[in-house]
Chains A and B, each alone.
Chain A
Amino acid sequence: MNNQIGDTDTDTDTNVSTDTSTDSQLGATTGVETSTTTTAGESEEQIRDEWTDYRFDSPAKLSVEDLNVWYGDDHALKDVSMEIPEESVTALIGPSGCGKSTYLRCLNRMNDRIKAARIDGSVELDGMEIYDPNTNLVELRKRIGMVFQSPNPFPKSIRDNISYGPRKHGEINKGLLARLFGRDDSEKEAELVERSLRQAALWDEVNDRLDDNALGLSGGQQQRLCIARCLAVDPEVILMDEPASALDPIATSKIEDLVTDLAEDYTVVIVTHNMQQAARISDQTAVFLTGGELVEYDDTDKIFENPESQRVEDYITGKFG
């Protein structure tokens, strides 16, 4: 994004010098026009298709094709194409403002809620186009759950937080009518609450106070509650937008363990600022760099040990971002 130019405090002199050196290396290789939206300290280079061409054996859960997002005149995401494999952890990393959160929010159409956003391209979940005009958003968001950057439990009891989704989808009935006709689902609810909280590794901490307000929990517990809430609707994909960035190290490590466990049954896509975190928990990593471009996408080990792109290497080794 343009407002990132000169935003960081790295001195701009290095920018110029690296520019010339990389230009001489890569400048003549392709006819693609050079990207000019770099942050301070970031060199320029052309992105090559094979850097983002990541192949895997299992079928793709999500496949994204030529996704473009504009916020007003701001081109936030440029021609992103990537396929996300099933039952794995995919990390999205990159400096702030690089469009990784925007990309994540496109996967369950949360960007629809931003009026200024314009989205172009295709996202398929199990081969089904989610940007089809006939897509049922309720059904889509049931299948693709989301956990946000700062914990956002509802101001309700812990139990009600978990059963919120199923109740809204009519899977659990606890209203007056349901009780009158003997179709009260309290038992089913109790089971669901316990299962979800256990999956989120929160059950042992809160099982004696399920009726307490969720806002009384600590930040880490709130975030795990949000994960449990998301699991309660039994999604196939879980999107996580820097889920641990507002938490202390202990809470963070709990979330990380949880993410690794979840990848056995769910497809997890996680945005993170923390490169060690991405290296620890993810199976494959996608690197977004300034300007909303997907620069490199490959096995996590490959990205962190031997990246193709000079800019990705610079970013990972902490030269900018």
Chain B
Amino acid sequence: MLSSVTAEVQDAILGEDPSEGALRTVGLSVLSLVASLLCIFLAPGFALPVLAAFVVVTAFGWRTHQAEIARLLTLVATILTVLTVTLITVYLFFSAFPAFTAHGIDLLTIPILESGPQWFFWLDFVLPTGETIWNPRAGVYSLIPLIWATVIVTTIAGLIAAPLGVLGALFIAEVASDRLREAIKPGVEILAGIPSIVYGFIGFKVLNGFIQKSFLDDGASFLIAGLVVGIMALPTVVSVSEDALSSVPDAMRDGSAAMGATSWQSMKSISVPAASSGISAAIILGLGRAIGETMAVAAILGAVVQPTVPLFDMFDASSTLTSAIAHNYGSATESTLDVLFVAGVMLFVIVAGMSVISQYVERRINRKLQGQQ
């Protein structure tokens, strides 16, 4: 197995029949790179000189055997990317492991209120219950409020981003004239370029202030956070669904128009169903963005960790999985940090899962549309 991979890589870089010189140059370059990577872990002091040696060897190789060295560099870049992702994943899971063993299922403790355990979709039959839920000093950590806060914020964000985004994409792709489209599309994309803390600050300062002054003294943190995150997810939803709608062949629209369908009927019955794979992928990607959003949420929701009572109270506030990490990592004790890593693992799994699901949905619907069920 390993030897066949090595042989294949060697083939790809050196070609069928490598010359002695190419073999030596590439070999030396690889050797020096591996040595410098090892040095980082084993003898950090030597890492820099060895890396410099790699650069020199590669630079010389570039002059003598450019094709081979170029192929090697593309391979190295790919390996470094994959290696980084793998190391992050491994490190995340390793760091979360102590908290898993120390607390186990208690990390999902359902809070007890005056009226008994907080109702949580019948989960209280399976999961443990406890008086306190987040108390680092006493060593009690329940991630349930964090998870629930994430669910609420993401749901509100989805309810805002999905309809607005899809309708906006429909307007850009089907209704707007060419000139209007050229003006609007960059506008939507600029929305994606605004730093997230700016959104958070506006949400906290303007929206929260407005709501506290005009409607509710306590503010409406989940609602505002969901609103702001929904707006942040909008550009993703709009541009991905717009791409999907634009890629529906015009021949289909012509066909529909020639049948005497109005443009709204064509849009509703031809364009949207034909682009449904892209549109669902857009919504899932947008939701993924909403789940992972940190700074805006942290600014709006604050550092409190508490269960919402009742469960669906969207005017309450509590940290989400992401904002809890942002608020606590600086001042946390060793054991709290471990729990935060568990939160990180959860986020990682959810967001990675969503991108896998979006790809699956897209592929499935595409296959269905192409008539090969």
Chain A interface residues (CB < 8 Å from chain B): 108, 110, 113, 115, 137-142, 145-146, 148, 150, 152-156, 164-165, 168-169, 212-217, 226, 229-230, 233
A150 & B368 in contact (Cβ 8 Å cutoff): no
Q: Which of B76-84, B115-123, B260-268, B281-289 contacts A (4 or more CB under 8 A)?
A: B260-268
B255 & A154 in contact (Cβ 8 Å cutoff): yes
Chain B: minimal CB distance from A152 (Å): 4
CA of A229 to CA of B259 in the docked complex: distance in angstroms? 8
Contacts of B252 in A (CB 8 A): 152, 154-155
B251 & A142 in contact (Cβ 8 Å cutoff): no
Known contacts A108-B258, A155-B369, A230-B258; 12 additional CB pairs below 8 A are A110-B257, A115-B178, A139-B260, A145-B258, A146-B258, A154-B256, A154-B269, A155-B371, A165-B259, A213-B368, A216-B372, A230-B259
CA of A164 to CA of B249 in the docked complex: distance in angstroms? 18
CA of A148 to CA of B270 in the docked complex: distance in angstroms? 17
CA of A150 to CA of B261 in the docked complex: distance in angstroms? 20
Which chain B residue lies CB-closest to A216?
Answer: B371
Q: Closest 9 interchain pairs by CB?
A: A216-B371, A213-B371, A215-B371, A141-B260, A146-B258, A152-B251, A165-B259, A152-B255, A155-B369
Interface centre among A140, A169, A213 (most CB of B within 10 A): A213
CA of A142 to CA of B372 in the docked complex: distance in angstroms? 32
Partner of B261, one of A108, A115, A139, A164: A164
CA of A22 to CA of B249 in the docked complex: distance in angstroms? 46
Contacts of A212 in B (CB 8 A): 371, 373
Which chain B residue lies CB-closest to A217?
Answer: B371
Q: Is B274 an interface residue (CB 8 A)?
A: yes
Chain B: minimal CB distance from A215 (Å): 4
Contacts of A230 in B (CB 8 A): 258-259
Contacts of B259 in A (CB 8 A): 141, 145, 164-165, 168, 229-230, 233
Contacts of A140 in B (CB 8 A): 260
Contacts of A148 in B (CB 8 A): 251, 254-255, 258
B249 & A165 in contact (Cβ 8 Å cutoff): no
Chain B: minimal CB distance from A196 (Å): 12
Q: A150-B251, A152-B252, A154-B252 are in contact. Are A165 and B257 (CB under 8 A)?
A: no
CA of A214 to CA of B368 in the docked complex: distance in angstroms? 11
A-B contact list, 20 entries, CB within 8 Å: A110-B254, A113-B257, A138-B262, A141-B259, A150-B251, A152-B249, A154-B252, A154-B256, A154-B274, A155-B274, A156-B273, A164-B256, A164-B261, A165-B259, A168-B262, A213-B373, A214-B371, A216-B371, A229-B255, A230-B258
B260 & A142 in contact (Cβ 8 Å cutoff): yes
CA of A152 to CA of B250 in the docked complex: distance in angstroms? 9
Q: Is B4 an interface residue (CB 8 A)?
A: no
Which chain B residue lies CB-closest to A138?
Answer: B260
Chain A: minimal CB distance from B138 (Å): 55
A154 & B270 in contact (Cβ 8 Å cutoff): yes
Contacts of A216 in B (CB 8 A): 370-372
B368 & A113 in contact (Cβ 8 Å cutoff): no
Chain B interface residues (CB < 8 Å from chain A): 177-178, 249, 251-252, 254-262, 265, 269-270, 273-274, 368-373
Contacts of B368 in A (CB 8 A): 213
CA of A138 to CA of B259 in the docked complex: distance in angstroms? 8
Contacts of B371 in A (CB 8 A): 155, 212-217
CA of A213 to CA of B368 in the docked complex: distance in angstroms? 8
Contacts of A110 in B (CB 8 A): 254, 257-258
Contacts of B372 in A (CB 8 A): 216
CA of A169 to CA of B270 in the docked complex: distance in angstroms? 15
Contacts of B370 in A (CB 8 A): 155, 213, 215-216
CA of A214 to CA of B372 in the docked complex: distance in angstroms? 10
Chain B: minimal CB distance from A1 (Å): 21
CA of A216 to CA of B373 in the docked complex: distance in angstroms? 9
Contacts of B251 in A (CB 8 A): 148, 150, 152
CA of A154 to CA of B369 in the docked complex: distance in angstroms? 9
Chain A: minimal CB distance from B40 (Å): 53
Contacts of B257 in A (CB 8 A): 110, 113, 141
Contacts of B373 in A (CB 8 A): 212-213
CA of A150 to CA of B252 in the docked complex: distance in angstroms? 11
Q: A154-B270, A155-B274, A215-B371 are in contact. Are A137 and B256 (CB under 8 A)?
A: no
Contacts of A145 in B (CB 8 A): 258-259
Contacts of A213 in B (CB 8 A): 368-371, 373
B261 & A165 in contact (Cβ 8 Å cutoff): yes
Q: A214-B371, A216-B371 are in contact. Are A226 and B255 (CB under 8 A)?
A: yes
Q: A148-B255, A150-B251 are in contact. Are A233 and B260 (CB under 8 A)?
A: yes
Contacts of A229 in B (CB 8 A): 255, 259
CA of A229 to CA of B255 in the docked complex: distance in angstroms? 10
CA of A137 to CA of B257 in the docked complex: distance in angstroms? 9
Contacts of A233 in B (CB 8 A): 259-260
